[in-house]
Structure 1
Amino acid sequence: MDSTFVKYVLTALALSATPAAALEQNCRFIQAKADREACYKRQEEELAAKRKPAARAAESKTLESVRQMRQDDDAVYRSINNICRGC
């Protein structure tokens, strides 16, 4: 590989990782307590907004799997009822 290509890739990776780290550090250095707390609150809300869709997706997947298990159980119970016991 070309060394300049590697440098470009490493630079791109470094720049893409920087905004998240900068976002966390910005609040730490704000001197005014009210502004600093507002910054932390904004960060908390952003993180909560990012986590909500993932939680809802996992919840809906769990509900769907429970529904599927119930349907499978019902099918098994129906087939068992048709078995002659002691004919």
Structure 2
Amino acid sequence: MKRVSWILLTVALTGSPAAAATPEQCRFIEARAEREACYQRQEAARLARQKMNESRQAEQPKPYEPMAADDAQLAKAIRGICRGC
């Protein structure tokens, strides 16, 4: 009895991620309406992922750059140098 329960648990754990990890292949769906619905689901999922990534990037603080002021001053000084002489 314990062996059967362990086998079922193992099958349940190994079978679920494989199904969830594979993307839906819309191009192989024969019916046009079902194929278009599949494409719409994929587009909605892509937009949701993109929005989540954008919000995650917006939350990340900008790196502190102590040389930014010095870089701006140096760029201003370099602009005054004759380049074609």
Q: TM-score range by the shorter chain?
A: 0.3 to 0.5
> TM-score normalized by structure 1?
0.47
> TM-score normalized by structure 2?
0.47
User: Which structure: greater helix fraction?
Assistant: 1
